[in-house]
Amino acid sequence: MPALDGFIGAIGNTPLLRLGKLSAETGCEILGKAEFMNPGGSVKDRAARYIIEDAERRGTLSPGGTVIEGTAGNTGIGLAHICAARGYRCVIVIPETQSQEKMDLLRVLGADVRPVPAAPYKDANNYQKIAGRLAQETDNAIWANQFDNLVNRQAHYETTGPEIWRDTDGRVDAFVCATGTGGTLAGVARSLKERKPEVKTVLADPYGSGLYHFVKSGEIKSEGSSITEGIGSSRVTANLEGTPIDDAVRIDDQTCVTMVYRLLREEGLFVGGSTGINVAAAVQVAREMGPGHTIVTLLCDRGSLYFARLFNSEWLRQRGLHVPQS
């Protein structure tokens, strides 16, 4: 294998992992794309790369410039890695409700981390809007704007989708994915459906998000809340708009937690809550479709970013959740 071009050269071409116990239980091939194997540890490395390279091509990001983003963490981590490699300053506005591990890692990577109180998108003090204003006020700076910058979904249209098609030899029957910015589901869905229109695309959603009801009824409506970070939304982003979505599945927190621990104990995979949502939803879709189908989802990121929460039995207990027995 030839040497890769630094951090950026290592992004993408992650393997598909067969989840043996779940495949045996459902009679389907349940495959998880190992996005935690990206160099920054998550699927968000892909969008971070495309956003920065696009700004460089267009000349909106010049040498010595600043990349500013509002993020729940993983996109910021990818941006911070690339900024360090490219010589840019990185400023991350993040809701203070996100895990301390994410904030600590961002600071280690050299980012200027600015935690802010959590606020809904309609609020002027929402973390995304603060990041946008900050970019306007800063010389030689760009706002990555991952939610509405269509380069995000282009990254997955050009890389993630074709990789799934290649590695399944076109034998993919359904793609299941949670969404925050909408970029991953939007790009992969478009890519796969161009090649095979009958591929079923399914949005996996936690409680507290309005997207499940949007897919089912066309109305944004949220119910309940969730411990998951970085997924779910109260609006249809520019990236998600117009995406061909066939169905939606909603996963509660205990189902998510149980799946995260199953993946750890049965597959040796140390992953986060978004992955728990994805895989639990993929299992539900497999059972609905019946044996003999191939279901692909994403193993989004590493569990180490959630060690003090998702892997802390006392923290879970305080929220009415429990660690499943082996």
CATH of the domain at 280: 3.40.50.1100
**202 and 139 in a common domain:** no
Residue 149 lies in a domain: no
- The pLDDT assigned to 1 comes to 74
**310 and 265 in a common domain:** yes
Q: Is 44 a catalytic residue?
A: yes
**205 and 97 in a common domain:** no
**225 and 100 in a common domain:** no
The total of structural domains in the chain comes to: 2
Among 48, 49, 45, 142, CA closest to 91: 142
48 token code pair:
């971070």
Q: What is the mean pLDDT of each run of 10 residues along the chain (326 residues)?
A: 92 98 98 98 98 97 96 93 97 93 95 95 94 96 97 98 98 98 98 98 97 96 93 95 98 98 98 98 98 98 93 96 88
pTM of the model: 0.96
Among residues 143, 175, 209, the one where a domain terminates is 143
**286 and 185 in a common domain:** yes
Query: 19: domain range?
Result: 6-37+160-316
In sequence order, the 6+-apart residues with CB closer than 8 A to the CB of 54 are 151
Task: Tell me which of 21, 33, 44, 200 is the catalytic residue.
Answer: 44
Q: Are 175 and 294 in contact (CB under 8 A)?
A: no
